[in-house]
Amino acid sequence: MKPFIAFDLGNVLIPFDHMKACRALGAIYSLDPQYVYERIFECGIAQAFDLGNLSPSDFTQECSDALNVNLNEHELVDAWSDIFTPDPEMEKLVEELADNADLCLISNTNCWHYNLVLRNFPFVENFPRKLLSYKIHKMKPDPEVFRLALR
């Protein structure tokens, strides 16, 4: 029997920085990045998107309303998703473990981020099981996420 190993995606396998998205949106729409962060993250819009409770178009509209600008969805996708930095050591570790362990990926993420991760970080395909918040409508640290992982 292979050992079970669960990994968190963000800031474990792949470093990320939400402020990169806030700075990018701030540059496009002449907004203070901290204001962008407060209006989208601290007001719960980002969490609703990560939970799958907002569609991409609804997320775009909620962000537009919160920032009082007319966001272009394509610009938002690009700015919102360009937050990840490769970690070659973690990629190598996952590839080494893939044949000898039952791997499970757990992530509080949204569809835009996950699609970008699939394109830019193909090593995530080594995870036969993936618990993604936008698909399961639950986020860590909710104990149900970990119960699902253990099933």
Structure tokens at 59: 């997320």
Q: Which residue has the tokens 């292979």?
A: 2
Cis omega before residue 141 (within 30°)?
Answer: yes
Q: Which residue has the tokens 């989208």?
A: 40
* Per-residue model confidence (pLDDT) at position 125: 96
Domain hosting 46: range is: 18-81
Q: Is there a single domain that holds both residue 66 and residue 93?
A: no
* Per-residue model confidence (pLDDT) at position 53: 98
* Per-residue model confidence (pLDDT) at position 61: 97
Q: Is there a single domain that holds both residue 39 and residue 11?
A: no
Q: Is there a single domain that holds both residue 27 and residue 66?
A: yes
CA atoms of 47 and 62, how far apart (whole Å): 12
CA atoms of 151 and 149, how far apart (whole Å): 6
Q: Is there a single domain that holds both residue 91 and residue 60?
A: no
| Residue 138: Cβ within 10 Å count | 18
Q: Is there a single domain that holds both residue 98 and residue 74?
A: no
* Per-residue model confidence (pLDDT) at position 1: 86
Q: Please report, for the domain that includes residue 125, its CATH number.
A: 3.40.50.1000
Q: Is there a single domain that holds both residue 29 and residue 68?
A: yes
Rg (CA), the chain: 16
Q: Is there a single domain that holds both residue 25 and residue 75?
A: yes
CA atoms of 119 and 107, how far apart (whole Å): 16
Per-residue pLDDT tens listing for the chain (151 residues): 899 999 999 999 999 999 999 999 999 999 999 999 999 999 999 999 999 999 999 999 999 999 999 999 999 999 999 999 999 999 999 999 999 999 999 999 999 999 999 999 999 999 999 999 999 999 999 999 999 999 8
Q: Is there a single domain that holds both residue 74 and residue 32?
A: yes
Q: What total of structural domains would you count in the chain?
A: 2
